[in-house]
Structures are given as structure tokens and as C-alpha cells.
Amino acid sequence: MLFNSWCEISLSAIEQNYKEFERIVGPGAIVAPVVKANAYGHGIELVSTALRAAGAACLCVNEVDEGLRLRASGDQGRLYVVGYSAFEQLSDAVEAALDLVVYNRETVDALAPLCARLERPLGLHLKLETGNNRQGLPIDQALELADEIRRRPGLCLEGVTTHFADIEDTTDHTFAMQQLGRFQRGVDALVAAGHDVPLRHCTNTAAVILFPETYFNLVRVGIGTFGMWPSKETLVTAVQARRHQIHLEPALSWKSRVAQVKDVARGEYIGYGRTYQTTHETRLAIVPVGYYDGYDRRLSNLAHVLVRGHRAPVRGRICMNMLMIDVTHVPDVALEDEVVLLGTQGEQRVSAEQLASWIGTINYEVTTRIHERLPRLPR
Ligand SMILES: Cc1ncc(COP(=O)(O)O)c(C=O)c1O
């Protein structure tokens, strides 16, 4: 192993989570895992291969580059790009047969000449603006763009889509239901205008867990694929609605190893800025991982890691490539002992949610911030 820290990815957990969503959703809708952002930090090629083997017919990426990466790794299935595709990326996208989300007339104009002679038309998914005020078009403009797509040989309206603004951050889902109503009206308007839109999709994990009425015929599932719940609010709502009988298995462990063990006298300072002073004779272990690797500097003097099955607190500031932990209470810590930054060891567990709560963020950010250069090893 040429790296001082690495992630281990449980492919059986990924497969199990995917199957769990298939079970919940039933045969009426395609489960389309979201593997953008390096599969939420889990390793896009590794995870996508496992998901295809588990039966995933469609994978969602954020941008063309991610789609190309998957094509280069041999992926030949449907890939849907949920984020923006810039003009200069469009010819690559067409060549790689990526389905694209569209919400600009200019994009359709730029695609038309590139696709005019395609054997199979390029699939476009029209994004409806239903309240997120991110990507998307209001219904009247979406209808115009759909007409435009219909006029262009080589392009086809493959899907209609939207995205919820406020479904995992709250236990009050009034706004989400309003968005769903707008989406439904948009779909109806397209159908009434003679557009046969094969795929209709608006979910994220929270919607899939909580609201079967959001499924239509394709569901996008991100965070849940990796075994994490979107939020406490989603869990609370699921319990109230008795929809919590779902088992998600976290797939990612992040590990390093002890680089040095040393005894430090009482009253010594530890690390940059001398932000920690020992209150007792302390046995310290140095761990060669830092904020460059994605271990957030705000975890300084706050987080715990696991070593020899014990929790060991981080002492002093996280450095760029190192951190220090107190192992005074842990018997026999030795050079090269395994250190778990995220995951389980013996009876102990540090979850992405725990790390997130220490620094005021969400589990999504914790795993996506783990540096891409660190290896993701199948386990
Ligand atoms: C367009 C779109 N769909 C689906 C998802 C998946 O959301 P989640 O990870 O909450 O399932 C995302 C994630 O941000 C997204 O941007």
C-alpha cells in the first residue's frame, strides 16, 4: 500500500442497499443510483461496476467528464447527466451517448447539428422548475423547448424531471408536495401537447423512503445507495409514517495507521498554535492523515478515531498531512496499528453523521470531501 490513508468500500453493502431500494420501490420504477461526486466519495468506477452487476440499468452522474470516465472504464449502460453540460462538452457527450438534462434552448440548438445523423437519437430530459430555483424551466417554457426538441432529428425527449428543494431538511413536507403537484401538472401538460415522455422522475433518497407517490417510473437514489440516511428529519418522518423498516448498510471505511508512538509529559503542548496542553502524562500516537486528505481541520481537538477497538481523541490542530491522538488509555498501541477515521473497529463506530455533527455539516459533505487521490479498495 503506497498510501498513508485509504478507504475500504463494502461492495456487498452497496449491492444490498441497491436491492433494498428495488424492494421498496417495486417493479414499477427503475432504480437509478446517483454516482456523481466520485460516488459520494466511494469511488465512481468501483461502485458503478458493482451497481451494474447488481442490475442497475441507469446511473446518474453530475457532468460529462464523469460519464466519460465511466465509458472509459467499460460501462455501456444508460448514463444520465443531472448537471450542466457546457457547449464545449457536448460533442463528447453525444459520442459517449450520455443522456443529458436540458433547460436551455441554446443547448438544444448546439446539440442539434451534432446529433442530426445519429442512428439512435440522443436522449434529453427536460428539467421542470417546481420550486428549487436551481436548474429548470417553468411549464410554459418547458413546453416550448419540448416542441423544439421534437423538431430536431437526432434528439428525443427521453425524460421529464425535477428536484425537491426541501424534503430532507424538514418534517413538514407541504412544500415538497406542492412541488410534486407542479411536476405532475408539467407532465400532464407535456402529454396533453402530444409528447410521449418515456421517463418521469423527481426523487432523491428521502422521497423514495417517504413518498411512493413520487416514484413515477424512475427513482434517483444517491445517499441511500451508500448506506446513509439523508437526515434525522427523514428518519423521524419515516418512523412516524411507519416507513422506517428499511435497512441501509454504510459502505465506506476510512483508515490510516500509526506513524509514531511517544510519551509526552504533563503540561506539554501539542501541535500548531499550541491549542492543546496535556493535563496528564500522555501517550500520543501520530497518524499520517490530515486536511489535505479531507479530514476537516475543524475536527481539531474534537473528533475521535478508533485504534485497537478504543476511541482515541484528536489532540491539537489537524495538520495538512498529520494528526495526533491521545492513546494513553489504549493498551499496547504500536507502530503501524490500524486507525479508523470513519467506520467500525471492534465494538466502536465513528459514523459520517458523527463527523458531520462535530463540524456542523452533513454526511454528504464528509464522504464527498475525502480526497479522490486516496485509494478506494473493495472489501
Ligand atoms: C438531481 C439530483 N437527483 C438526485 C440526487 C440524489 O439525492 P440524495 O443523495 O439525497 O438521494 C441529487 C443529489 O444531490 C441530485 O442533485
Reported as a single tens digit per residue, the pLDDT across 151-200 is: 999 999 999 999 999 999 999 999 999 999 999 999 999 999 999 899 99
Give the pLDDT score at 55: 98
Q: Cell 485497537 sits at which residue? A: 308
Q: Which residues are catalytic?
A: 36, 272
In a 10 Å sphere around its CB, with 0-12 CB exposed, 13-18 middle and 19+ buried, how is residue 184 labelled?
middle
Predicted local confidence at residue 163, as pLDDT: 98
Q: 193-229, pLDDT tens digit by residue?
A: 999 899 999 999 999 999 999 999 999 999 999 999 9
Q: How far apart are CA 185 and CA 167, in angstroms?
A: 19
Ligand 1 center–CA 8 separation, angstroms: 23
Closest residue by Cα to residue 167 from 206, 134, 219, 224: 206
Cα 239 to middle of ligand 1, angstroms:
22
Q: Given a cut of 90, is residue 95 above it in pLDDT?
A: yes
Q: What is the pLDDT of residue 294?
A: 98
Instruction: Give residue 328 CA to ligand 1 midpoint distance, Å.
Output: 43
Locate the DSSP E strands across the chain: 5-9, 30-33, 58-61, 78-81, 99-102, 122-127, 155-161, 199-201, 218-221, 252-257, 260-264, 269-270, 276-277, 282-287, 304-307, 310-315, 323-326, 338-345, 348-350, 376-378
Q: Give the mean model confidence (pLDDT) for residues 74-93.
A: 98
Q: Which of 21-30, 143-152, 167-176, 237-246 has the lowest mean pLDDT?
A: 237-246
> For the residues 337-346, what does the mean pLDDT come to?
98
Which of 17, 34, 80, 210 to probe ligand 1 with, by most ligand atoms within 8 A of CB? 34
Q: Does residue 16 surpass a pLDDT of 90?
A: yes
Give ligand 1 pocket residues (Cβ under 6 A): 34, 82, 163, 204-205, 220-224, 230
Q: For residue 257, what is its C-alpha cell?
A: 495507521
With bands split at pLDDT 50, 70 and 90, how would you rate the model's confidence at 334?
Answer: very high
Q: Which atom of ligand 1 is nearest to the CA of 101?
A: 1
Pocket test of ligand 1: the residue of 40, 62, 82 to mutate, having most ligand atoms within 8 Å of its CB, is 82
User: If you ran DSSP here, which 8-state letter would residue 274 be given?
Assistant: G
Above 90 in pLDDT, residue 85? yes
Measured in Å, residue 201 CA sits from the centre of ligand 1 at: 11
Task: Name residue 164's amino acid.
Answer: F
Average pLDDT, integer, range 109-118? 97
Q: Are 345 and 309 contacting, i.e. CB atoms less than 8 angstroms apart?
A: yes
The protein residue whose alpha carbon is closest to atom 9 in ligand 1 is 222
Closest CA to ligand 1's atom 13: 222
Q: In the prediction, which pLDDT does 182 show? A: 98
Q: How high is the pLDDT of residue 224?
A: 98
- Percentage of the chain beyond pLDDT 70 is 100
Contact between residue 356 and residue 365 where contact means Cβ atoms under 8 Å apart: yes
Mean pLDDT score of the chain: 98
**pLDDT, average across residues 301-307:** 98
pLDDT bracket for residue 244 (50, 70, 90)? confident
pLDDT value of position 1: 81
Residues 228-247: what's their mean pLDDT? 94
Question: Which atom of ligand 1 has the smallest separation from the CA of 230?
Answer: 10
Ligand 1 pocket test: which of 204, 211, 246, 362 has the largest number of ligand atoms within 8 Å of its C-beta? 204
Return the C-alpha torsion angle 322, 330, 304, 287, nearest 10.
10
pLDDT value at 243 more than 90: no
Which residue owns the Cα nearest ligand 1 atom 4? 204
pLDDT at 159: 98
- Tell me, in angstroms, the distance from the centre of ligand 1 to residue 265's CA: 49
Distance 93 CA to ligand 1 centre (A): 21
